[in-house]
Chain A
């Protein structure tokens, strides 16, 4: 190693250091370069397509359970019963946003466009139970009872209509149901094995919830959900 090289090394070290320090100094003294957003006071505006928490407008929802089928992580649980007018009545609609991965597949397939992403992104909570969003405010039992009653009424009405030709139905089920309606409450879409996990989760059982989250692969074990093969195909949208 010659002297020239030796001194060159020193010079290079000093020069490159100085170069770097000039850049850091420029950032250091220029307040315009600061890009921090003071979060709770300043907020950044989520963009239009922002995928925040899911929201289901149950007034528009047709309980088709497309979202349940398409969800890769089974975070949506839906229960519906056949109403007096043969339309499905939503009994409960729950989204576990602790499990949701915000992929947006459910929003894309939703035929009535009732399911949307909101721009909400703040949901810090101390209990896992709070991470389950309930969209039907009424008690499931009440809805079932009411629908059953309506169905029974409608059946009775239909029976009566056969004789008297008059119809009168309650406002919830405006269209009169003609013919027989042996409505049996049915559960739709939710894969059988995934189903028990959700109530355990809701009840605030962290262990059960944990397992479900960590090994999504093992959840639908015996009977893999094969959503697309199910008989009813609504909506013509490609996925």
Chain B
């Protein structure tokens, strides 16, 4: 391509990919400079969904901010809810009943499954295979049913509360969850047969946008994207919070099984394998869930002590860090959300150099970004 370009000078083309584009997972805009099909430079432009959540956070109370965390990463609201609750509890030193912690872990892992399902489905849809997307949605619907039972909503759950959870598990919830797991577990090999190991699919992803482990760390990649690069780091294991230390699970890392370590295929496979691990965690958590209260004593006018705290939780898209400054009043003084997708987009411009337009779509999909989190 290079030699050819020198022999025959071509003009670079400037293309706007997004904010309305089927594969930018929302309102991401990528400004592409291309030489024919080859991308010279892809610069992400975000902010189309900026709602000033951090500013809102300074104006509402700690409890009132909970529904806004739903809107942070709407495919994993439970995880964001729980991350916020854990942050505030860390700040105020609230002891949460064990049952509540188990419930949180159960809903978080269920949400991780449903979030990874969307990641898997939309990614395959980006790659041109539309059917797996529908299958993923079908499975996710079951998780949504479970969440509807537990909190009444299907997308923005607002279930976790500071000090516990808003309501105890409904009747038969754990049995239903088990039924779901029994139904879901055989679906993963089916996905693999259907698409993961499909020759075309593998070819589209292997060796595309490979990120080395060192690079991934330096660029702040977290979660499945970091693990895809072969770095075995999972906050649930390395910096355990909640009841994760009591649960046994493997950390999935990219192995470069079809190409280089850290390519799109590895990132994709990590998510698929993580669903399996989540099933494992869920089975243990269901068996271990104790009886007891689900809510700690939290004063209704909640004023945490002044202080600054940084808490990070392993969310489906990576590490959601919340830096919270309290000045002792009912409102947070400063609230910074370190959104994994936002930080991940840092490396986007670097890894997409020299790829083709179709690969841009693959990279966006393999990062599994979500725009409300990027733009906040």
Residues of A near any B CB (own CB < 8 A): 9, 12-13, 16-17, 19-20, 23-24, 35, 46-51, 70, 72, 101-105, 108, 117, 215-218, 220, 224-229, 233, 235-239
Contacts and interface: CB of A to CB of B under 8 A. Distances in A.
Interface in B162-179: 163, 166-167, 170
A98 to B, nearest CB: 16
5 smallest beta-carbon distances between A and B, as pairs: A103-B67, A51-B152, A49-B152, A13-B199, A228-B301
Given A72-B60, A239-B300, 7 more contacts: A17-B200, A47-B148, A72-B67, A102-B152, A102-B153, A228-B300, A238-B297
A102 B152 CA distance: 9
A24 B64 CA distance: 46
A49 B300 contact: no
A220 B58 CA distance: 12
Interface of B: 51-52, 55-56, 59-61, 63-68, 70, 131, 138, 141, 145, 148-153, 156, 158, 161, 163, 166-167, 170, 190, 193-195, 197-200, 295, 297-302, 329-331
Given A103-B66, A104-B158, A20 B194 contact: yes
A70 B65 CA distance: 10
B56 A217 contact: yes
Contact of A224 (B59, B145, B163): B59
Given A16-B199, A23-B194, A227 B148 contact: no
Nearest to B200: A13
A220 B138 contact: no
Contact of B193 (A20, A46, A220, A225): A20
Contacts of A35: 138, 141
A118 B197 CA distance: 46
B153 A217 contact: no
B300 A236 contact: yes
29 contacts: A16-B197, A16-B199, A17-B200, A19-B193, A19-B198, A24-B194, A47-B149, A49-B152, A49-B167, A49-B170, A51-B152, A70-B64, A101-B67, A102-B152, A103-B70, A104-B151, A105-B63, A108-B166, A215-B51, A216-B51, A217-B55, A227-B61, A228-B302, A233-B300, A236-B300, A238-B295, A238-B299, A238-B300, A239-B63
Nearest to A224: B59
B204 to A, nearest CB: 13
A226 B329 CA distance: 10
A220 B59 contact: yes
Contacts of B190: 23
